[in-house]
Amino acid sequence: MKDAAPQPVRLSEYTPFPFVVEQVDLRFTLAGAETRVHSKIRFAPNPAAERAGEIFLHGKELELISARIDGAEVSPVITARGLTCPVPSGAFTWEAEVRIDPTTNTSLDGLYTSGGMYCTQCEAEGFRKITFYPDRPDVMAPFRVQIDSDMPVRLSNGNMVEEGVWDDPWPKPAYLFALVAGDLRNFPGEFKTMSGKDVELNIWVRPGDEARAEYAMDALKRSMAWDEEVYGREYDLQIFNIVAVDDFNMGAMENKGLNIFNSKYVLASPETATDTDYDFIEGIIAHEYFHNWTGNRITCRDWFQLCLKEGLTVFRDQQFSSDMRGAAVKRITEVMQLRARQFREDQGPLAHPVRPEEYIEINNFYTATVYEKGAEVIHMLKALVGDEGYAKALDLYFERHDGDAATIEDWLKVFEDATGRDLSQFSRWYSQAGTPRLTVEEHFKDGTLTLDFKQETKPTPGQAQKQPQVIPIAVGLIGPNGNEVAETRVLEMNKSEQSFEFTGLSAMPVASILRNFSAPVVLDRKLDIASRAFLLAHDTDPFNRWEAGRVLGKEVLTQMITEGAAPAPDLLTGLSRVVADDSLEPAYRALMLGLPSEDDLAQTLFDSGHVPDPAAIHAARDALQDAMAAEMEPILASLYEQMETPAPYSPDAEAAGKRSLRGACLGLLSRRDGCARAKALFEAADNMTEELAALAVLIRHGQGEAAVQAFYDKWRHDRLVMDKWFMLQVVQSSPETMAETVKSLTEHADFDWKNPNRFRSVLGGMQANPAGFHRADGAAYRLYADWLLKLDPVNPQTTARMTTAFETWARYDADRQQMMREQLERIAALPGLSENTGEMVGRILG
């Protein structure tokens, strides 16, 4: 018999839980397949809800051994979702014992084992796989946990009462529960909080990895200090533990007092980690730490409010990284990522609001829209109310909602109350999906510049009509001699069409519009090549200066693809000047040398009425890079020498910036020097950033065979480095043979496909090679789908996330569309397909 179609959960149907939980006591007996969980939970009627004569507790894949209410045995009705049991009218104590098997839990959700250690992942709904419980974020309770096990290290949330016994005084939802037990070593540290309390810090790793936790520890201390300085938020327990685990579906998790990390975002040494790895470690350590206030002390009422904690915490980690590493470079990389992930999502069948209104599987809604657009919405809010208004609103938020499970309405209300602003129209950013397209026309007459703006958002699934949104548009003006004649002013657009004037100008300026990317919109502006080149040379807003080069690059590439045009000289000379300008930071100049991605170009072509040809896009980018290399060879060659960083390696932003410019130069120079520099660098490099940059170039130019083998021999025992080895071969493979490369890598003895990092390295690598993925014969589509079919029964969460490789099918020609749909339908037809993947595939097919 076929299962009933899964029913969506709806925001409009929220009701409070009829009980409050006063105390949770858990006792774990960790014994492999015979693991037992004993729970004792004190319930009382919830005064804010209707009285109930029975209780429903979530539970999944649990074997109930015994259940008691106030000491008397009970026999609840058990289904696949949980249990229901009659209860007394007042407060009562529920006691249960269940058996679970962490050793066969390959979903990495709930309690599982990884490399001999026990660990948990409970967000969003994993706690119900540990014991029967009201597994919803608005049920908050203090937890006490006892871990019986022969493992030397036993950890849970809160403060340690005695060996293996933990007490967390702060009421928390079950999704923040965590437990770890294993043979682990710690990298210790300490922190004195602003009120003078000492906090013990530990980063727990596998034996032998201790030395690689130093940078993460340093990032943690800086995060703690930053949150005190900038937000006035102090840590609230005596101890803070971080554990690194090799098998993990996500990046990291903010469990109260016990963050659990994918080892890739903790462990780093100069020889094994790249500058990008260091950057991510810093940002993710900060992110999870910042959740202690934005997520844990104030949590979400229900999962529709996910952006309340994730959007805000991303915004906070972005502010932190910006303070640590430089605002301009950070903003540019944020926007590149937003466009690559969130705009892509918003333009396709998976488009949804920052606060979705229904879901089948909540794990499918940890999306770029919730996270990154969620952060952009706060960025706009801050621009609209000003820095002081923002600080006041945040203080009020922490004061008013500490200990609450809150909503987006609560969040917006603190801004209204703190600043007196009406945010009813602004709130559409949370409910309306899609990326607004902002069109602008410019007129200059009698010393007045008029900007006529129009905003339009295309229909998205389930939302045919769109209302105008509040769009903060930061604008500055550059005079003919290249000086700024009007400083940045934030125009507030709130109608479909609206004009703004700049008066008293002595000559026609060039407007710099949407400075620092003041709103997550697509700006549609007809501007001649000369004016773009002018902004590239003179814009005083570093983001828009970069953007001018990027738009120019996109226009040039579009003309090359659609008209067979030659690379425009304005772009080449404009870029050379910026790249040679020593007054600009190296990291910024490196970004200038980057071109719009193949995926971005495919979407741009589609938006302008063309059918993108992935091979032609790839060829055009190649041709433009050849032209850049030819035009700039002398500058690149001298920069390559100048940007050499002295040993010993340091991961700081300045040194990393030099290496990124050097790497960009290397990439282009290899088109001229037969890879001579890359070969030399591969031999000489004493750090992973340069070793990998050199290897990438060699593979890309078909000269990587020996280096690939040498790299393998050197690093075969290091899992994190081997992930890079696998990925690079896929990403840098020539598009024609990528599918074959992937096939042979999946047959490699080290391809441990049940490990999410390894799986993502190879299969996820395919997405980073669009011309290879979209190969005309569909071989890559088939291969990709084969592997999703194989992974789904083992790890539905990771499978479901990876279906997004197909979310852009509607952009392409009829043949490709049909081939992609065929693969999606094949996946949909898998008997026993997970709800996770089923929901995604269904939405992508539309």
| Residues designated as active site | 288
Smallest gap from residue 58 Cβ to ligand BES (A): 16
Is 109 a residue that touches ligand BES (CB under 6 A)? no
Strand 153-156 versus strand 179-182 pairing type:
antiparallel
Question: Which of 363/729 has CB closer to ligand BES?
Answer: 363
Decide if 452 contacts 472 (C-beta within 8 A).
no
Question: Cα-Cα-Cα-Cα dihedral of 769, 771, 773, 777, to 10°?
Answer: -160
Instruction: Select from 643, 653, 636, 741 the least CA-distant residue to 690.
Output: 643
Site residues for ligand BES, 364-403, by CB under 6 A, read 366, 371
For the stretch 122-161, what's the b/e string if a residue is b when 16 or more beta carbons lie within 10 angstroms of its beta carbon? bbbbbbbbbbbbbbbbbbbbbbbbbbbbebebbbbbbebe
Site residues for ligand BES, 749-808, by CB under 6 A, read none
Smallest gap from residue 251 Cβ to Zn ion (A): 9
Is 123 a residue that touches ligand BES (CB under 6 A)? yes
Question: Which of 363/407 has CB closer to ligand BES?
Answer: 363
Question: Which of 299/460 has CB closer to Zn ion?
Answer: 299
Question: Which of 455/767 has CB closer to ligand BES?
Answer: 767
CA distance 112 to 497: 55
Question: Which of 285/693 has CB closer to Zn ion?
Answer: 285
Is 811 a residue that touches ligand BES (CB under 6 A)? no
Smallest gap from residue 407 Cβ to ligand BES (A): 18
Question: Which of 111/252 has CB closer to Zn ion?
Answer: 252
State which amino acid sits at residue 62: L
Q: Tokens 């972005």 belong to which residue?
A: 318
Is 250 a residue that touches ligand BES (CB under 6 A)? yes
**Helix%, strand%, coil% for the chain, nearest 5:** 45, 20, 30
Site residues for Zn ion, 252-311, by CB under 5 A, read 310
Smallest gap from residue 372 Cβ to ligand BES (A): 9
State which amino acid sits at residue 16: P
Smallest gap from residue 318 Cβ to Zn ion (A): 12
Is 254 a residue that touches ligand BES (CB under 6 A)? yes
Question: Which of 273/675 has CB closer to ligand BES?
Answer: 273
Chosen from Zn ion, ligand BES, none, partner binding at 284 (C-beta under 5 to 8 Å by type): ligand BES
Is 677 a residue that touches ligand BES (CB under 6 A)? no
> Other CB atoms closer than 10 Å to residue 18's CB: what's the count?
19
Site residues for Zn ion, 308-347, by CB under 5 A, read 310, 313
CA distance 129 to 109: 8
Smallest gap from residue 750 Cβ to Zn ion (A): 31
Give me the residues paired with residue 756 across strands.
none
Size of the site for Zn ion (CB under 5 A): 2
Question: Which of 306/514 has CB closer to Zn ion?
Answer: 306
Which two three-digit tokens encode residue 165? 């016994």
Chosen from ligand BES, Zn ion, none, partner binding at 251 (C-beta under 5 to 8 Å by type): ligand BES
Alpha-carbon distances, residue 789 vs 683, 741, 800 (angstroms) = 40, 20, 10
Q: Which range in 250-258, 555-563, 656-664, 831-839 contacts ligand BES by CB under 6 A?
A: 250-258
Instruction: State the SS3 of 148-209.
Output: ECCCCEEEECCEEEECCEEEEEEEECHHHCCEEEECCEEEEEEEECCCCCEEEEEEEECCCC
Decide if 797 contacts 108 (C-beta within 8 A).
yes
Instruction: State the SS3 of 680-730.
Output: HHHHHCCCHHHHHHHHHHHHHCCCCHHHHHHHHHHHCCCHHHHHHHHHHHH
Q: Which residue of 83, 111, 180, 253 would you call a contact of ligand BES, by CB under 6 A?
A: 253
Q: Which range in 145-153, 363-371, 457-465, 522-530 contacts ligand BES by CB under 6 A?
A: 363-371
Smallest gap from residue 402 Cβ to ligand BES (A): 19
Question: Which of 220/707 has CB closer to Zn ion?
Answer: 220
Question: Which of 176/451 has CB closer to ligand BES?
Answer: 176
Q: Which range in 246-254, 349-357, 411-419, 731-739 contacts ligand BES by CB under 6 A?
A: 246-254
Burial of 684 (0-12, 13-18, 19+ CB in 10 A): exposed
Decide if 568 contacts 529 (C-beta within 8 A).
yes
Question: Which of 168/631 has CB closer to ligand BES?
Answer: 168
CA distance 461 to 811: 16
Smallest gap from residue 757 Cβ to Zn ion (A): 19
Q: What angle do CA 717, 721, 725 make, to 5 degrees?
A: 105
Q: Which range in 252-260, 459-467, 695-703, 829-837 contacts ligand BES by CB under 6 A?
A: 252-260
CA distance 131 to 31: 16
CA distance 129 to 100: 8
Smallest gap from residue 396 Cβ to ligand BES (A): 24
Is 252 a residue that touches ligand BES (CB under 6 A)? yes
Size of the site for ligand BES (CB under 6 A): 17
Smallest gap from residue 249 Cβ to ligand BES (A): 7
Site residues for ligand BES, 577-606, by CB under 6 A, read none
Chosen from ligand BES, Zn ion, none, partner binding at 26 (C-beta under 5 to 8 Å by type): none
Helix (H) or strand (E) holding 9: strand 9-10
Alpha-carbon distances, residue 512 vs 266, 490, 503, 524, 539 (angstroms) = 40, 12, 16, 13, 7
Chosen from ligand BES, Zn ion, none, partner binding at 842 (C-beta under 5 to 8 Å by type): none
Q: Which range in 58-66, 100-108, 249-257, 507-515 contacts ligand BES by CB under 6 A?
A: 249-257
Smallest gap from residue 397 Cβ to Zn ion (A): 17
**Which is it for the CA torsion 784, 789, 790, 793, positive or negative?**
positive
Question: Which of 313/363 has CB closer to Zn ion?
Answer: 313
Smallest gap from residue 111 Cβ to Zn ion (A): 21
CA distance 542 to 515: 8
Site residues for ligand BES, 271-330, by CB under 6 A, read 283-284, 287-288, 291, 310, 314
Is 839 a residue that touches ligand BES (CB under 6 A)? no
Q: Closest CB to ligand BES belongs to which residue?
A: 251
Is 178 a residue that touches ligand BES (CB under 6 A)? no
CA distance 87 to 93: 10
Q: Which residue of 124, 351, 451, 722 would you call a contact of ligand BES, by CB under 6 A?
A: 124
Which two three-digit tokens encode residue 627? 């032209």
Is 251 a residue that touches ligand BES (CB under 6 A)? yes
Which two three-digit tokens encode residue 137? 């974020």
> Other CB atoms closer than 10 Å to residue 175's CB: what's the count?
23
Q: Which range in 60-68, 248-256, 329-337, 686-694 contacts ligand BES by CB under 6 A?
A: 248-256
Is 258 a residue that touches ligand BES (CB under 6 A)? no
Instruction: Select from 833, 758, 753 the least CA-distant residue to 789.
Output: 833
**Which is it for the CA torsion 319, 321, 326, 328, positive or negative?**
negative
Chosen from Zn ion, ligand BES, none, partner binding at 250 (C-beta under 5 to 8 Å by type): ligand BES
C-alpha of 822 from chain center = 29
Interface positions with ligand BES (CB under 6 A): 123-124, 250-254, 283-284, 287-288, 291, 310, 314, 363, 366, 371
Interface positions with Zn ion (CB under 5 A): 310, 313
